[in-house]
Structure 1
């Protein structure tokens, strides 16, 4: 995977169709700042996530096992 190399260059926000919490946790372990599930976030949430990444704010919290998707906390 190229994720660790990309994450060293810039914050990475993964947008995926996968809702599996382990998939999201793996992306976080590999360096992603956060994950969003395609179709489960609004444009304002996406814009907010990108703005926070650019500002260098802490990454999104990891999802709980009960969540069906990761939603931005911003």
Structure 2
């Protein structure tokens, strides 16, 4: 079992990474690669958030972000 503050910090950092990847566009950039990198960060965040020391609301937040990315990709 991970240390609760360390797990929460890791989830926060992964959520920030996913946000930054999605926000920072590059002209003629590879949109699929951006989505892939954001998804990788969110999936890792979901794994870390599965730790029992992490508040269940955080797991729900990460899942909603993944669902949002699914919707974004479906609309693209």
TM-score (ref. length: structure 2): 0.29
Q: Choose between structure 1 and 2: higher helix proportion.
A: 2
Q: Choose between structure 1 and 2: higher strand proportion.
A: 1
